Amino acid sequence: MLNILAAMESPPENVMNLITGHKVDVLTKDIAMIKTVARKNYDLILLADAIEMLPLIKSADPRAEVIFFAGGGVEPPEVIQHGAYACFSFPVDISRLTEVIDSISRLVEKRRENAKLEGQLSANYTFFDNVVGRNPRMIETFMFIKRIAQYYRTAIILGETGTGKEVIAKALHSLSPVSQNPFMVCDCGSLVNTLIESELFGHRKGSFTGAIADRRGVFEAAGEGTIFLDEIGELPLQSQTSLLRVLQTGEFRRIGDQHASLAKCRFIAATNKNLQQEVKSGNFREDLFYRVTQFMIEIPPLRERKDDIPLLCRHFLERFSAGTGKKVLGISRHAQIMMMSYDWPGNVRELENTLERAAILTSESFIRPDDLPEHIRSVSSEKVRHPVCLDDVVKKHIEETLVTCNGNRTRAAQMLGLTKRSLLRKLEKYEIQSLQKSKRTKNAPARTS
């Protein structure tokens, strides 16, 4: 059943007969009607003649589909350009109108099903604090973090700039037994080479020019907590030697101090470099490489986990609204298609900054394409003209999860936040059964679940 608004002065009897099985409101075309549209979440709006109302309706609720009934002087291309789903002239072709409404009904049903799936997954998409994702690779990362959090002493997080390495490090710290102790961050890329060891280990007054007082380094300040050493690949070789000694012996010395202190903290490093290649090039010590890579956590770039973009958008918009008081409810369909089409070279950080910018600029309750930067609109324009099918995205996500689980349906259902029965229905709906079997046959022995 559709929730329909008929914004028509005298709705034709045959049109009203066609929609009698749905919930229907009949309203006058005025500003009060626009306020009602913004409030009531209509699935379908039947609008006659007043083309000037069409942009207002789409601004009030971008998700509502509009069928426009045109009088004289209005051409269908103009109506479609303004956001209408379809355009009819009088007398209405009831057979074609039936087909269009049936098509909208199927579209709305898919949206409702996806919203339900989203709700089922909502308990799973936030693993800890700001770590958001349901992509199979991210779920595997979350599970790995949970397994090692109690026991690790050193770990390294690998990923491109902006993928959220520090957020993952904070999650690892927060799940560890030392979560109540300090989490100290040291960014190697922002430090002058001559001051790196002072930042790490501290110094005594007078130990070098400018050392006008004793100073603690991050190893001392962390106590029994965690040190996060970002961009470890930027450390000069001399500092790498000093760091290796601390990790091997569990002791460090302030510069200018004769007495060693115990390093009681846990150690997490991060880099966007290929450290194995850096070792081959002589830029990174091989022995330090093996010391810090006891546990490696790889964060995929956003372009390889685009199914997480809607969840990340919701998370960032909720945080923006809570922090500023400006309510931005979501993203219009075309804007979301543009964002899904873009490859996000700056990864999650670029997505967050883009959303914050758009949320500030928008004058509506939904972010629209015009609120996005030009480079995103231009890169995505061709794909927006040929948008991907939502069913294909859902099907691909389920297939990837099954591959990650080696065909184990019970585990896949748990990762997707579904019951096994719901997953089986989706396998049948999207015809994944034979594909799943072929992948299991090729990659791994079949396993009963």
Structural domain harbouring 429: 390-443
Please tell me the total count of domains within the chain. Answer: 4
Q: Tell me, yes or no, whether 375 and 397 share the same domain.
A: no
3-state SS, residue 262? strand
Radius of gyration, CA atoms only, the chain = 28
CA distance 347 to 297: 17
Amino acid at 236: P
Q: What CATH number is attached to the domain comprising 25?
A: 3.40.50.2300
Round to whole Å and give the CA distance between 271 and 351. Answer: 20
Q: Which of 282, 298, 314 is the C-terminal boundary of a domain?
A: 298
Query: What confidence score (pLDDT) does residue 239 get?
Result: 92
β partners of residue 44: 4, 65
The pLDDT score that the predictor gives to residue 115 is 65
The pLDDT assigned to 348 comes to 94
On whether both 420 and 290 belong to a single domain, the answer is no
Q: Is the pLDDT of residue 393 over 60?
A: yes
**Is 122 inside any structural domain?**
no
Of all residues in the chain, the percent with pLDDT exceeding 70 is 87
Question: 250 or 31, which is more confident?
Answer: 250
Q: What is the domain-level CATH number for residue 376? A: 1.10.8.60
CATH number for the domain harbouring residue 156: 3.40.50.300
Mean pLDDT of the chain, nearest integer: 83
Same-domain pairing of 374 and 394 = no
396 vs 93: CA distance, rounded Å: 38
For 10-14, 69-73, 289-293, 310-314, which range has the lowest pLDDT when averaged over its residues? Answer: 69-73
Q: Provide φ and ψ at 420, rounded to 5°.
A: -65, -35
- DSSP for residue 92: P
Residue 256 counted as domain residue: yes
181, 45: one domain: no
DSSP category for residue 84 = -
Q: In the prediction, which pLDDT does 433 show?
A: 63
What pLDDT score was predicted for residue 386? Answer: 47
Least confident piece of the model among 75-84, 103-112, 124-133: 124-133
* End residue of a domain, out of 265, 298, 331: 298
Task: Tell whether 179 and 275 lie within a shared domain.
Answer: yes
From 266, 298, 330, give the residue that closes a domain.
Answer: 298
Averaged pLDDT, 311-339: 88
Q: Alpha-carbon dihedral of residues 48, 54, 60, 61, nearest 10 degrees? A: 80
Would you call 265 helix, strand, or coil by DSSP?
coil
Residue, of 411 and 148, whose pLDDT is higher? 148
Q: Which of 10, 7, 38 is nearest to 24 (CA)?
A: 7
The verdict on 324 and 357 lying in the same domain is yes
pLDDT in tens, 341-389: 899 999 999 999 999 999 999 988 889 888 999 989 887 555 544 444 5
> 3-state class of 5 per DSSP?
strand
pLDDT-derived band at 64, boundaries 50, 70, 90: confident
Q: Report yes or no on 124 lying in a domain.
A: no
How much of the chain exceeds pLDDT 90, in percent? 35
pLDDT at 96 over 70: yes
Highest mean pLDDT among 48-52, 183-187, 311-315, 409-413: 183-187
Same domain, 178 and 231: yes
- Judgement on whether residues 243 and 174 belong to the same structural domain of the protein: yes
Greatest pairwise CA separation for the chain in angstroms: 96
Asked if 234 and 102 sit in the same domain, the reply is no
Q: Which of 441 and 348 is assigned the larger pLDDT?
A: 348
Same domain, 249 and 150: yes
DSSP state, residue 255 = B
pLDDT at 438: 40
31 CB neighbour count, 10 Å cutoff: 9
Q: How far is CA 149 from the centre of its chain?
A: 24
288 shares its domain with 150: yes
User: One-letter amino acid identity for 30?
Assistant: D
pLDDT in tens, 266-275: 999 999 999 9
For the cut 80, the answer to whether the pLDDT of residue 321 exceeds it is yes
Neighbours of 410 (CB within 10 A): 12
- Between CA 109 and CA 104 the distance in angstroms is 8
**What does the pLDDT average to over 165-189?**
93
Residue 179 structure tokens: 């979560």
Query: Helix-strand-coil percent breakdown of the chain, rounded to 5?
Result: 55, 15, 30
pTM greater than 0.85 = no
Residue 151 in this model has a pLDDT that exceeds 80? yes
Inter-CA distances, 300 with 80, 157, 241, 392, Å: 39, 11, 30, 21
In a domain, 42, yes or no: yes
> To 10 degrees, what angle do helices 409-416 and 420-429 make?
100
The structure tokens listed for 66 are 């509009």
Q: What is the pLDDT of residue 14?
A: 85
> Does one domain contain both 92 and 110?
yes
Residue 118: the pLDDT is: 55
Q: 250 vs 29, 242, 334, CA distance in Å?
A: 75, 12, 55
Residue 246 lies in a domain: yes
The Cα–Cα gap between 358 and 371 comes to 5
In a domain, residue 193? The reply is yes
Please give the Cα distance from 64 to 55 (Å, whole number).
12
Number of helices followed by number of strands (H, E) in the chain: 20, 18
Q: Which residues pair with 68 in a beta bridge?
A: 47, 87
Banded pLDDT at 448 (limits 50, 70, 90): very low
pLDDT in tens, 274-300: 999 999 999 999 999 999 999 999 999
CATH no. for residue 402? 1.10.10
| SS3 annotation, 366-392 | EECHHHCCHHHHHHHHHHHHCCCCHHH
Single-letter amino acid, residue 172: L
pLDDT band at 183 (very low <50, low <70, confident <90, very high): very high
Instruction: Report in angstroms the alpha-carbon separations of 322 from 263, 316, 358.
Output: 40, 10, 16
DSSP 4-41: EEEE-SS--HHHHHHTTTSEEEE--SSHHHHHHHHHH-
Query: pLDDT at residue 122 above 60?
Result: no
Question: What six digits make up the tokens of 230?
Answer: 């970002």
